[in-house]
Amino acid sequence: MSTSASSPSTDTGTTPVTEPVTGAATSASESAQRESLPGAAENTGAAPGAKPYAAYLLGLADDAMVYAQRLGEWMTNAPQIEEDMALGNIALDLLGQARGLYPYIGSIDGTGRGEDDYAMQRDEREWHNVHLVEQERGDFADEMARLLWFSAYQVELHTALTGSGDDVVAGVAGKALKEVRYHLDHASLWVVRLGDGTAESHRRMQAALERVLPHLAELFDDDEASVLAADLEVGVLPSTLHDAVVARVARVVEQGTLTLPDGSRWRSRGGRAGIHSRPMGSLLAEMQHIARSHPGATW
């Protein structure tokens, strides 16, 4: 993970890609979408079939989509070819989570957008993922620290969401739960191996646990969209997941002879409201480049 400053950027036009050529109707709905922040239920209230918790689901889907993109960067870059495969497979599972949610979100937020519209046609300020998943790829220990926390969070999240009042959400969560347990297992195994390995691997794993720290609090923030979704018994309040996630991570850290660092002096914030850190723009540029350069292309 990069140690670069993650102060929220407030500029909106940083994504160096050209706007897609779209029809007037699409442009109108996109601008309407841009004005809304998560939790702005009134935006979706007008359309038939609209449900007010679309913004909450978008946050979950965007976490999965953006982390899939970051993990995909490890292909050909991991320390072993088996790890290329492992991180690529984990990325694929996360992409599957996002694909399970995007078309459904399009059907309940009143826009009718499809999965490619969400993944490829949104600008930085329209993404609602946490900063944790958008941070640049660091060394392998950094990735295992991030994967340990994120998969521990997803295990608790999807366990809770299997009881969601929305059948689609419960279905996606039930499917994802089996997979994220395996992700957690994989990250745990590496954190223990590196922590309880050589002096060098221990030092670097410990340093990674400290570097990831400022980006964790955001996972457990009860923002407006999640409060609304929890009230409707569709979502779960992120703060209620905190203790169980920390307990999971703490057990692994202890087994790896590592120390769970104390709270950070600073923390990232704003991702759920579309305010992102510097690496987000270049991530989107790389991810969306082909789709935006060739609007409507199929293969």
Partner 1 sequence: MTAVAVESAVAEAISRIPDPEVPVISIADLGILREVDVDEQAHTVAVTITPTYSGCPAMEAIASRIVFEAARQGYAADVRTQLSPAWTTDWMSDEGRAALLRFGIAPPGAVPVAEPHGPVAVTLSRHVVACPRCGSADTTEIAHFGSTACKALRRCNACLEPFDEFKAI
Q: Does 9 bind partner 1 (CB under 8 A)?
A: no
Say how far apart CA 3 and CA 241 lie, in whole Å: 27
H or E element at residue 99: helix 81-108
Q: Does 97 bind partner 1 (CB under 8 A)?
A: yes
Least Å distance between CB 108 and partner 1? 16
Q: Does 21 bind partner 1 (CB under 8 A)?
A: no
Q: Which two tokens stand for residue 18?
A: 């050209």
Q: Does 247 bind partner 1 (CB under 8 A)?
A: yes
Say how far apart CA 37 and CA 124 lie, in whole Å: 13
Least Å distance between CB 200 and partner 1? 20
Count, residues in the chain: 299
Helix (H, G, I), strand (E, B) or coil at 41: coil
Q: Does 185 bind partner 1 (CB under 8 A)?
A: yes
Q: Does 106 bind partner 1 (CB under 8 A)?
A: no
Planar angle of CA 39, 116, 122, nearest 5 degrees: 50
- Binding-site member from 85, 116, 231, 257 for partner 1 (CB under 8 A): 85
Q: Does 278 bind partner 1 (CB under 8 A)?
A: no
Say how far apart CA 108 and CA 180 lie, in whole Å: 26
Q: How many residues bind partner 1 (CB under 8 A)?
A: 41
Evaluate whether 246 touches 297 at the Cβ level (below 8 Å).
no
- Binding-site member from 32, 92, 112, 233 for partner 1 (CB under 8 A): 92
Task: List residues binding partner 1 (CB under 8 A).
Answer: 82, 85-86, 88-90, 92-97, 99-100, 152, 167-168, 170-172, 174-179, 181-182, 184-186, 188-189, 191-192, 247-248, 251-252, 255-256
